Amino acid sequence: MPRLPNQKLKILYLARILMEQTAPEPPLPGQQLIAELARCGIECERKSLYDDLESLRSFGYSVETRRGRGFSYFLTDREFELPELKLLADAVASSRFITKKKSEELVAKLASLTSRPLARSLQRQVYVANRVKSSNEQVYYNIDALHESVAEHRQISFRYFDYTVEKKKEYRKEGGEYVVSPCALVWDDDKYYLLAYYPKYHIILHFRVDKMERIRVLQDEAENPPEEMHFEPARYTQRMFGMFGGNEETVRLRFKNDLIGVVLDRFGQGVMVRRDGDDHFVVDVQVEVSPQFFGWLFGLGTSVTVVAPAEVAEQMRRRLLEAAGQYPQPQDRG
């Protein structure tokens, strides 16, 4: 008997049909599987279908059989369960550094990892349109280049920009390139940052990845921060507030007890907490004293006090007075 065309591809098409069209619901009857294969240009008899399904099971596919008027088949275990895909899809959709277009492409690719019926529920769950997103289409590929440079321990060059009030790019260094040694990529406040050693000034700098352009991985080997800098990416990011730098200080803060969760979220479970009376506790933390640090304190209102150093407490007092000065008291209309 002559061999039918496309028979070598039959088991591959069968696996794809099961992956795309079945979950526990709906299973596909054997006759429908044969019909789906026919649409792919492949003839299949019932007996050979049973043999192919058994081959898939032997290879590791979890093909289950349901008895009814006839036999129906469906795929159970998958690489990702639907709740896991929903979690990943929502993370992609809500990430500000990924553009709207790229978010939609990635969500569609995640949806392809489950069956079509479940993929529709996945895409209905995720909304991208009205979220604040990056406009830099290159950021997705920039991150890949930066990971490559860190893994291969190579220097990089790039241009860096800020925005003007007119929403136009304004390049630092008059459009000149930075050449730095990448140390790590970090995620902070829904943004990606590159931490890099800048040998020219013997400092660690951080750059917003979505504000970097023309990234090139160079052949020159990256320089490690000197040991005396004691640079650790996790420690560096923990003391920063919104990735805005300032003078590093050990600051003593006094909080009301109901803010213990806020403090642990900010500084981690390792922070030393000491009771101060029945209603307060005190912590000593290393931070970069920046406007964002004071803004964080301001948001906590009267539930936090800067105890020491005195100059940091004085800076906080002056900032509060300056902020209050922006809002003069209304005239008494008596």
Nearest-CA neighbor of 6 among 46, 34, 38, 31? Answer: 38
- Among positive and negative, which fits the CA dihedral 80, 82, 84, 88? positive
**166-177 per-position pLDDT tens digit:** 778 889 999 999
Average pLDDT for the chain: 81
**291-318 per-position pLDDT tens digit:** 888 988 988 989 999 999 999 999 999 9
Q: 184 near 150, Cβ under 8 Å?
A: yes
Phi, psi dihedral angles at 206 (to 5 degrees): -125, 145
Where does 7-75 sit in CATH, by number?
Answer: 1.10.10.10
Fold entry, domain 247-325: Alpha-Beta Plaits (3.30.70)
CATH number assigned to the domain with residue range 139-230, chosen from the 4 options 3.10.110, 2.30.30, 2.20.130, 2.60.120: 2.30.30
Q: 229 near 183, Cβ under 8 Å?
A: no
pLDDT at 1: 39
- Indicate the domain borders of the chain: 7-75, 82-125, 139-230, 247-325
**204-235 per-position pLDDT tens digit:** 888 988 889 999 999 999 998 888 877 887 77
Task: Report the distance separating Cα 71 and Cα 199, nearest Å.
Answer: 69
pTM of the shown model: 0.56
pLDDT at 309: 92
Question: Strand pairing partners for 75?
Answer: 63
Residues 6+ apart with CB under 8 A from 105: none
